Every structure is written in C-alpha cells, then in structure tokens.
Amino acid sequence: MTRPQVVSRAAWRAALTDFREDEKAATRARDALNARRRRLPITALERDYVFGSPGGALHFADLFDDKPQLIVYHNMLAPGSDHICRGCSLFADQIGNLAHLGARRTSFAMVSRATVPEIARVKARLGWSFPWYSSHGGSFHEDFVGSLGPASFGLSVFLREDDRIFQTYFTSGRGVEYVGGAFSLLDLTLWGRQEAWEDSPEGWPQEPTHSWERLHDEYGS
C-alpha cells in the first residue's frame, strides 16, 4: 500500500502549517454559514402533534422539556419492520450527555413512526437512554420529512415561544454527519472515511459508501 512522502519533522511542520491556513479558512467559512443559518426565516406550526411514550401520550410542547429550543432526529424505524437503519443507529450511538445541550436551553428527542414497544426493544438492545418518541398514527414524519424532499430521515430544529412553536431548520443526508463524532474524527485521519467517493491516493483502503456500517453489536460478526 502506498503512503505519503516521509519527510523530516521540520518539513512536516512546514507542510502542516501551510495546510492549517486553508483549514482555518474553511472553519471561518463554516462560521459564516452558521451565522446565515441563525438568520434564516422561521415558520410557525399550524397544528399540534401527539406522540407516544412509555409514560403515555405527549403533546409536541412536552418534548421541549421546559426548554425554548428542541432538536429532533427523525429516525427511520418504521412500524411493523425488523429493519434497524445502520445510519440512524450510527448517529444515535454518538449522542452524548444531553445535560450540555440543556445548559444552552436546548432539548433533544428522537422520533419514529414505529410504535412505543418497537422503539423500546431497539433502545434496550442498543443501550440507548435518550428520549425517543413514537409518531405512529400521525402525520409528523410526513409533514416534516416527506414534505421537504425524498429523504426518509433528517434533523429538525424548533423554537417554542409561549404557546407557539416554530420550525427554524431542517437537514438530511450528509447534513446530519457533522452532528455525530465518528465521521468528523475519521476525516482527521490519514485514510479518512475509507469510502470509495473520497479523493484519496491510489492504494488507500476504500470500500463502497456506507458498506462498512453495522449496528454496534454487529461489528466482528
């Protein structure tokens, strides 16, 4: 397998310094993009939604947990299906302690069309403890994912002011990658994500996109 040129420590530091100038420019460009996102117009929800939970039915406002902001991940888990999406699970595995979000007046919840017992089985198997609610029987998924394109998963952000709720943002596809840590950490390594679409030197280990992803209890099986 080929590898980059091996140079002296001084030459490596010089190349790294040159690269980091461009890296910092990309960071500043993302800062500017984030600033634009904060200035996007918002849209008011015109109806309430009811969700299933282990403790009973909840209204949409309850998902905010007394915080003004709410991030919702739209998980693909469907009612009556045994399929657990590997991509959604990779995202879910990287959800950390939500107290850090709470400290910035923000809550997090996952929502799926699957029923409460179906969600509970997946949570128990994979050891997840974050809030995950069922929109089974309602139009929440169709209204906030299906209406915005062909995506079957995604991430929405909402703002609550008294009795009014607004949607401020939505993303799907690769827009969700930056929320989790695995892709961001792999991007820092020599081999990157090791997927076929990446621009890497010939001979780098690469596999078809997403082909390596497993539920975390399936690696090595």
Residue matched to tokens 């969600």: 119
For the chain, give every domain's residue range.
43-177
Q: What's the distance, CA 43 to chain centroid?
A: 22
> Which amino acid is residue 130, in one-letter code?
F
Q: Give the H/E segment covering residue 196.
A: none
The predicted pLDDT at position 130 comes to 96
**In sequence order, which residues have a C-beta less than 8 Å from that of residue 134 and are 6 or more positions away?**
51, 52, 53, 111, 112, 113, 114, 115, 116, 118, 119
Q: Which pTM does this prediction carry?
A: 0.84
Are residues 64 and 107 in contact, defined by beta-carbon separation less than 8 angstroms?
yes
Residue range 43-177, CATH number: 3.40.30.10
Q: Give the pLDDT of the chain (221 residues) as one tens digit per residue.
A: 788 999 999 999 999 999 999 999 998 998 888 888 888 899 999 999 999 999 999 999 999 999 998 999 999 999 999 899 999 999 999 898 888 888 788 999 999 999 999 999 999 999 999 999 999 999 999 999 986 666 689 999 999 999 999 999 998 988 887 776 667 767 767 777 888 888 887 888 889 988 888 888 888 76
Task: Tell me the two tokens of residue 121.
Answer: 């089985």
Three-state secondary-structure class, residue 16: helix
Are residues 5 and 14 in contact, defined by beta-carbon separation less than 8 angstroms?
no
